Structure 1
Amino acid sequence: GQETDVWVSSIRDPGSPEPHLGTVFRQYQCNRTRFHTDADRPTPRTFASAVDWLQQNEGEDNFFLTVEAFDPHEPFDASEEFRAMYPDDFDVFYEWPRYSALNDQETPEAVEHLRNQYCATLSMADKWLGKLLDEIDRQGMWEDTCIIFTSDHGHMLGEHGVTGKNRFHAWDEMCRIPLLVHMPGDFRAGEHIGALTQNTDLFPTLLECFGVDAQIYRTPIHGKSWMPLIKGEAEKIRDYAIYGWFGQPVNITDGRYTYFRAAGKGNAPLNAYMASLTTYERYLGCDTPQVVTCGMYLKQCPIPVYRLQLVQEHEEPPYLDLGISRLYDTLEDPGQLAPIENEALEERLCRELAKQMEAHDAPAEQYERLDLQKYR
């Protein structure tokens, strides 16, 4: 029932709240007719299902449970109990921001209201996460269970003059995500480890926790296990982390400096690789079959994949700056508000970015798209 999930079917048009700012989708307006309390909403139901699973499997061992809650995620829709925790005087419906720069209607009062809606949704998720933790308490699972809490991304709520994600440079508000790890028996509880990690490290960490030899996999594992960090055997497992979104700048950090490497003119060549010509909401290539081929394009993949050739010209207004590389010193400028110029540092990060792309089996055309050929 989250976002545009086709969950509630209704011939009658539920209508849109008026007046409103941002985005309103008909399907979600249909879905929310089923939400009477917080317990009816998707994220609480997800946590409740996890609690039920733990209860049904109480006393079992050697299991892996993933609990993926969508919130806090737009639409920022929480029950009245939680909205009342963050009151304001703004009376226009606004819970789903546009993915763009703030316009004249999105005043400071509107942005404050949007953030209040976000906080209400986060508090609702917190309550139901707490129910999961209560069940872990009841079963005494802290003594013999590794529990990892992390996220996929953040969200812009007026910072840098924008709302949304994925359409801007990958500032830390979106990409520096939380990571909490509980080891059985409170091993090293309360300690902070100041090492660079990435979400790709989660998989090899879990393999090591379960005693699984990564060599059984025929394909490369690009992440690095956190266990040497956790056990105190190493101070770091990587010198750099790379990150970004498809078709946009590719970014690298050494923990202090962040460098956003923009594509060259035309943002090409750019290919999408996939096992099936679909996304969760549409088919791909039907209107342009001439740009679709199939072959052994990815050296880390042992089967043929589809390749969809794309032309993704930059059409961004000036505030996006997606066609301009950016370098930040996050020690001196944690808000990434003032890009710096340092040719020697940019040269080093370009060279290291090319190395990291090679280590992660990046498609060959990415070096051309990002104008990094000379660093290979």
Structure 2
Amino acid sequence: MKAIMLMFDSLNKHMLSAYGSDAAITPNFQRLKEKTVRFNNFYVGSMPCMPARREIHTGRYNFLHRSWSPLEPFDDSMPEILKKHGIHTHLVTDHKHYWRDGGATYHSRYSTYEFIRGQEGDAWKGVVDEPLCQYESGEPEEIKQRRIASRTQHQINVQFMKHEDEHPLARTISSGLEFIRTNHAADKWFLQLECFDPHEPFFVPEKYLKMYGIDESSLFDGWPPYYFVTESGERKAIIQKYYKALLTMVDEYVGRVLDYMDRYELWKDTMLIVNTDHGFLLGEHEWWGKNIMPLYNEVANIPFFIWHPDCADAGGSRQALAQTIDIPATLLDFFGAEIPVDMQGVSLKPAILDDTPVRDYALFGYHGCHVNITDGRYVYMRSPVEQGIANLYEYTLMPTRINRRFTPQELQRMTLHPGFSFTKGCPLMKIPAESVMLQRSDRFGHRLYDLKSDPKQEWQCQDQEVARRLFLAMERYMKESDAPEELESRYGFTQPALPLLGLDPMLIPAFCDYSPQIRYGILCIQQHLENSGQSDLLLKLEKVARPEWTKEDLWQFVLEEITIAQHQSLFYKMALEMRLN
């Protein structure tokens, strides 16, 4: 028995022909659909990249206890379990996060592994005289400098990728096919063939750009903005075309894997999974990217294809609800390995066989932000009912973030927690959370969407009974996950009288008469003035602000009262805070 998991990053299901879209040229995804079983209600769990990959190893929700995280000493790792059962596990990937501080414990769980260099800002080629990178935003300085460094390194790396066969996607697939070519006649192996594309930057060979009428005159560097859409219609279309062009390149290499499945007749005894960690917003809901906005289905409802040689139904589709935490249980079940008791995911074999439901609900989200739940028809998004992050923590024995270690200052505030039901008796470091995403994570409020009547999530449903049912299911799932106790108050489970839908004005009692948009705009200005020591202007704002103020009034206050040098940063922050839809 053999298995291949062909995984991509930031794959938008709504752009694929296999899901009924003609937005991009994807004939091989259509071919994949005809060869496999397609899931229509497959959801993310923990967001974004490494939290999703931790779930692929452990089959547990990551986001309730941690944000971006390495594998922990107490984690059950699916590839490692297979390895211990005599299954050779091989990882081929160009996903640079496996080699950063926040993901460095993943690759060594496999029997063997290959890392393809050069994606995004991978610190690959050393050029001392670096190119000049122009990047302006109002983001915090640490994030801004990280983006500049990544863009600079990307400009260096692409100088060494002049031809398509030098592109990381091409090299990654080529290495995966080499493994298949070498081992197709052998038994008992699992190949995780994982590609960073179509994640940004959208670095695309010219032949694919030409398919969408794009030439070098577009002056787009491949980096879509990570916030709300402000671009003109023409500029917006160019960014979307770059993604589509890269998606068509991805499709080309999906076809090469399918060719090998055919050539070596692997369909007889080999499971094939084609999946992604999450989707990507390309202007839908007037947002780009992920991370800040609510987890709309363009990000959360992801493509998933599977071929199970014992459940042959080529071209079939399934409505059964499933999610990322179910992948490791499905693979362990396929190879006859015991599923650990701490694994929350379940094998998808019954759903693959005849669409038998395997779960009633799927829970998903970012650490400390909305907790989301779906039953396949409705999506309920539960906002924090507490402002800020003063009572939010990360629990870990591996204190690293996406690209750095926890600082001594962060660790000085650490306390010891006795551990959770799944930590195998290990106590944990309990460390106060720090994230820009979390500072105003309550601003979007509680939301409910009916995907049957409103599949594009264009308006919020107001069905209180449905919201109550999903709220109670969410509470139950979080308890079953042994979620930290402080989350009960953060999400209002200890206050049943709180509203189930909408923004609760009592989150900010002083501004309960203001509209939500103006309330968050004023809060943003207040925070800026407090942090910059401008107490006189803070008092003036509190004196002159009125509930009837409009966005123009806030803008005018900044223009008249705050120095020009602070405008760009403050307007950027205000625009993000006031973007509620």
Q: TM-score, normalised by structure 2?
A: 0.59
CA contact (8 A) 1:151 1:179 kept: yes
Residues in 2 aligned to 1:102 and 1:193: alpha-carbon distance in whole angstroms? 34
- Where in structure 2 are the equivalents of 1:50-61 lying within 5 Å? 50-61=176-187
User: Judging changes above 3 Å, is the alpha-carbon distance between structure 1 residues 374 and 300 closer, same or farther for their aligned structure 2 residues?
Assistant: farther
Residues in 1 aligned to 2:353 and 2:283: alpha-carbon distance in whole angstroms? 40
Q: Confirm whether residue 354 of structure 1 aligns to residue 354 of structure 2.
A: no
Q: Confirm whether residue 221 of structure 1 aligns to residue 343 of structure 2.
A: yes
Residue number among 415, 426, 431 corresponding to 1:293 in the alignment: 415
Residues in 2 aligned to 1:322 and 1:140: alpha-carbon distance in whole angstroms? 53
Residues in 1 aligned to 2:326 and 2:401: alpha-carbon distance in whole angstroms? 25
SS at match of 1:373: coil
CA contact (8 A) 1:267 1:369 kept: no
| Counterpart position of 1:109 | 234
SS at match of 1:118: helix
| 1:13 positional shift | 1.5
Residues in 2 aligned to 1:157 and 1:7: alpha-carbon distance in whole angstroms? 29
CA contact (8 A) 1:48 1:128 kept: no
| Counterpart position of 1:78 | 204
| Counterpart position of 1:27 | 153
Identity %: 32
| 1:49 positional shift | 0.7
Residue number among 424, 427, 433 corresponding to 1:304 in the alignment: 427
SS at match of 1:73: coil
Residues in 2 aligned to 1:311 and 1:82: alpha-carbon distance in whole angstroms? 40
SS at match of 1:8: coil
SS at match of 1:335: coil
| Counterpart position of 2:398 | 276
CA distances 1:104-135 after superposition (whole Å, capped 9, x unpaired): xx111111101110011111122122222212
CA distances 1:44-82 after superposition (whole Å, capped 9, x unpaired): 211111001111213101111111111111001111011
The residue type equivalent to 1:146 in the other structure is M
| 1:140 positional shift | 0.9
Q: Confirm whether residue 196 of structure 1 aligns to residue 321 of structure 2.
A: yes
CA distances 1:152-193 after superposition (whole Å, capped 9, x unpaired): 111111111111101110000001001111122771221112
User: Judging changes above 3 Å, is the alpha-carbon distance between structure 1 residues 186 and 209 closer, same or farther for their aligned structure 2 residues?
Assistant: closer
Residues in 1 aligned to 2:361 and 2:196: alpha-carbon distance in whole angstroms? 29
Q: Confirm whether residue 171 of structure 1 aligns to residue 275 of structure 2.
A: no
Residues in 1 aligned to 2:233 and 2:161: alpha-carbon distance in whole angstroms? 30
Q: What residue ranges of structure 2 are gaps of 5+ in the alignment?
A: 1-117, 137-143, 497-581
Aligned length: 365
Q: Confirm whether residue 254 of structure 1 aligns to residue 375 of structure 2.
A: yes
CA contact (8 A) 1:285 1:292 kept: no
Residue number among 121, 125, 131 corresponding to 1:4 in the alignment: 121
- Where in structure 2 are the equivalents of 1:36-185 lying within 5 Å? 36-88=162-214, 91-103=218-230, 106-184=231-309
User: Judging changes above 3 Å, is the alpha-carbon distance between structure 1 residues 36 and 306 closer, same or farther for their aligned structure 2 residues?
Assistant: same
| 1:248 positional shift | 0.9
- Say which is worse superposed, 171-180 or 222-231, in terms of deviation: 222-231
SS at match of 2:239: helix
| 1:362 positional shift | 2.0
Residues in 2 aligned to 1:289 and 1:17: alpha-carbon distance in whole angstroms? 34
The residue type equivalent to 1:2 in the other structure is Q
The residue type equivalent to 1:95 in the other structure is G
| 1:315 positional shift | 4.9
RMSD over aligned CA atoms reads 2.4
CA distances 1:191-226 after superposition (whole Å, capped 9, x unpaired): 112110011011111111011122xx3x51100111
The residue type equivalent to 1:133 in the other structure is L
Higher helix share: 2
| 1:87 positional shift | 1.3
CA contact (8 A) 1:270 1:312 kept: no
CA contact (8 A) 1:256 1:330 kept: yes
Residues in 1 aligned to 2:434 and 2:171: alpha-carbon distance in whole angstroms? 41
The residue type equivalent to 1:98 in the other structure is P
| 1:136 positional shift | 1.8
Residues in 1 aligned to 2:227 and 2:402: alpha-carbon distance in whole angstroms? 23
User: Judging changes above 3 Å, is the alpha-carbon distance between structure 1 residues 295 and 285 closer, same or farther for their aligned structure 2 residues?
Assistant: farther
| 1:18 positional shift | 10
The residue type equivalent to 2:172 in the other structure is T
- Say which is worse superposed, 190-199 or 291-300, in terms of deviation: 291-300
Q: What residue ranges of structure 1 are gaps of 5+ in the alignment?
A: none
| Counterpart position of 2:463 | 342
Task: Please list every run of at least 4 consecutive aligned residues from structure 1 whose deviation after the TM superposition is greater than 4 angstroms.
Answer: 311-316
CA contact (8 A) 2:369 2:442 kept: no
| Counterpart position of 2:512 | none
| Counterpart position of 1:206 | 331
User: Judging changes above 3 Å, is the alpha-carbon distance between structure 1 residues 211 and 9 closer, same or farther for their aligned structure 2 residues?
Assistant: same
Residues in 1 aligned to 2:410 and 2:307: alpha-carbon distance in whole angstroms? 49
SS at match of 2:325: helix
User: Judging changes above 3 Å, is the alpha-carbon distance between structure 1 residues 88 and 54 closer, same or farther for their aligned structure 2 residues?
Assistant: closer
Residues in 1 aligned to 2:208 and 2:152: alpha-carbon distance in whole angstroms? 24
The residue type equivalent to 2:345 in the other structure is G
CA contact (8 A) 2:418 2:428 kept: yes
| 1:267 positional shift | 4.3
| 1:6 positional shift | 0.6
| 1:312 positional shift | 5.7
SS at match of 1:147: strand
User: Judging changes above 3 Å, is the alpha-carbon distance between structure 1 residues 171 and 189 closer, same or farther for their aligned structure 2 residues?
Assistant: same
The residue type equivalent to 2:279 in the other structure is G
SS at match of 1:266: coil
Residues in 1 aligned to 2:388 and 2:374: alpha-carbon distance in whole angstroms? 22
Residues in 2 aligned to 1:227 and 1:361: alpha-carbon distance in whole angstroms? 27
CA contact (8 A) 2:385 2:492 kept: yes
SS at match of 2:253: helix
Which is bigger in relative contact order (C-alpha 8 A, separation at least 6)?
2
Residues in 1 aligned to 2:123 and 2:214: alpha-carbon distance in whole angstroms? 32
Specify the structure having the higher radius of gyration (Cα): 2
| Counterpart position of 1:370 | 491
The residue type equivalent to 2:327 in the other structure is L
